[in-house]
Structure 1
């Protein structure tokens, strides 16, 4: 594998055509048509940026939008992609055609968990192969691997939960949407070697710094890593003003500097050089700014283990109603409030058996 020390990345800001009001068959047709529309824009981006373009990142749930009123089984049937299905085949062909690493974020099914779906960030390599599949761990209203934790680990192992892809364009890791707000995830991926975080998002933008914009800068600095963040170029097809999630796609370097940023609407202007040699030199340099070298992992592992917050395996053996997710968060808030009032660390929650599935109310 011939490694490139520098190349160009594009955070491709395209509109999302939501499928919420559609039936299953029509939704599937719209998603396939969206791939054709996105492919034309990706070709344009590749031509505009030039032959050094090696990485294209697409926004969050770019084919479907987010579930809005759909049941979990209903959204799985309507909008979740089969990992071996035609949508990924078309994206794989596009990555191979352009000779790039293409990052797609979508809801997808899993034959091992037939009653659920997961939100995934998938990196397709320049030969069309899948080089990374990351399933989002933090999601307020959708299932995650943590909800079926023991069985997910038995099926895939921890390296698939926190994957880092060693590629010719560096060590790549995916962070989905609001997960940029969780420093633990980026830190774990950084400790596993990630040099470039690809961040598919669909978020509110503002002339002021938003929480996610602040977090992107922090995650880049904390982990001495690039962040390539693609936001939606508008959301079409549902009763939310279309430009509520439009603009702000950006690329940050390992010192938290914004190298490129898009305004609102569909855009290819968020592109910049990724200098792997620079980040690797910085990571070897002693000093106060080398934050990854100064993390006290053992201390934080012990302290985190003392706190009972969101519990694993909550969906084992059940298909949730949408109300489940709000009820679970309410239970967590009660536990947090009790812990704060007592001022003492909590004892970790112990499940009496692997199949205990009833969340504490």
Structure 2
């Protein structure tokens, strides 16, 4: 199995973001022929303010972004994990992942469970719950015979979610993110490797990179794929770009046999 991660610098120009995302997906599929392509959190719109965020939202499956990327997955014959975007559902809005299979049909939808309400070390405040509702469901899907688990950004700090994904059979876990620069420089790689080691899965952490909100906020980037032993097997360079990893699925079973932690839980 091959997985490609797409690192973007999305902003408040939704049309440009979508064009950039489609171009990068097309390019990496042509170059590397992956089975699964992953976009970052808020790939369609990463702007400021409740009204702007809600204004970027779309209903599923009727929204134009949903239809566009479903058609793209079908055209390319690839599973496309659409990072996250704002889902409008009645009067509610969610930070939602949608995954399209190679036939262009929706095979999973995950609404972010843990919302980012934080005052960062750099003095910038984030209040995701002011604009976004909380999800409830633990979600997996299949790429061939491989089970893939869903998470988004701040979820990475809550290992109980990843244990639940492992208990549902996940062999690969995907985490689109817009991880802040101030926290990312110290915690991003450490947490990604820890989640991979704990769950004995391949872990794909796919981030936004660079400045947004007119330079007031910065994302860390450093998108990466970690193997079940905690080794990094692929990473994006700084800035916009892609990386592709070939996953040795037999290694998952070998690691779980060597250190069978899933059988040793007490709590």
What's the TM-score, normalizing by structure 1?
0.65
Point out where structure 2 has 5 or more consecutive residues left out of the alignment: 118-127
Match of 1:201 in 2: 177
1-structure distance, mates of 2:186, 2:87: 29
Higher Cα Rg, which structure: 1
Residues 142-180 of structure 1: CA distance to partner in whole angstroms, max 9, x if unpaired? 24346xx7xxxxxxxxxxx11111330510111100111
Out of 148, 153, 160, the residue aligned to residue 177 of structure 1 is 153
2-structure distance, mates of 1:169, 1:81: 31
Q: Return the offset for 1:246.
A: 4.5
- Report the CA distance shift for 1:170/1:177 in structure 2 as closer, same or farther (over 3 A): same
Match of 2:57 in 1: 80
Match of 1:267 in 2: 241
Match of 1:31 in 2: 14
2-structure distance, mates of 1:272, 1:169: 18
Match of 1:40 in 2: 23
2-structure distance, mates of 1:280, 1:125: 25
Judge conservation of contact 2:35–2:143 (CA < 8 Å) in 1: no
- Structure with the larger strand share: 2
**Secondary structure in structure 1 of the residue aligned to 2:156:** helix
Q: Return the offset for 1:137.
A: 0.7
Match of 1:187 in 2: 163
2-structure distance, mates of 1:290, 1:65: 41
Match of 1:226 in 2: 202
2-structure distance, mates of 1:273, 1:145: 33
Judge conservation of contact 1:32–1:87 (CA < 8 Å) in 2: no
2-structure distance, mates of 1:91, 1:47: 16
Match of 1:118 in 2: 94
2-structure distance, mates of 1:209, 1:240: 18
1-structure distance, mates of 2:185, 2:19: 33
Judge conservation of contact 2:94–2:111 (CA < 8 Å) in 1: yes
**Secondary structure in structure 2 of the residue aligned to 1:239:** coil
Judge conservation of contact 2:18–2:43 (CA < 8 Å) in 1: no
**Secondary structure in structure 2 of the residue aligned to 1:93:** helix
Residues 23-56 of structure 1: CA distance to partner in whole angstroms, max 9, x if unpaired? xxxxxxx42443222111111111221x3x1111
Matched, 1:106 2:106: no
Match of 1:290 in 2: 260
Match of 2:68 in 1: 90
Q: Return the offset for 1:184.
A: 0.6
1:334-353 superposed matches below 5 A: none
Q: Return the offset for 1:15.
A: 1.7
Aligned Cα RMSD in Å? 2.2
2-structure distance, mates of 1:232, 1:145: 21
Q: Return the offset for 1:290.
A: 2.1
1-structure distance, mates of 2:28, 2:22: 10
Matched, 1:240 2:215: yes
2-structure distance, mates of 1:93, 1:8: 21
Q: Return the offset for 1:100.
A: 1.3
Match of 2:121 in 1: none
Point out where structure 1 has 5 or more consecutive residues left out of the alignment: 1-6, 19-29, 150-160, 300-361
Judge conservation of contact 1:59–1:232 (CA < 8 Å) in 2: yes
Match of 2:120 in 1: none
Match of 1:69 in 2: 49
**Secondary structure in structure 1 of the residue aligned to 2:110:** strand
Paired residues, number:
252
- Report the CA distance shift for 1:57/1:235 in structure 2 as closer, same or farther (over 3 A): farther
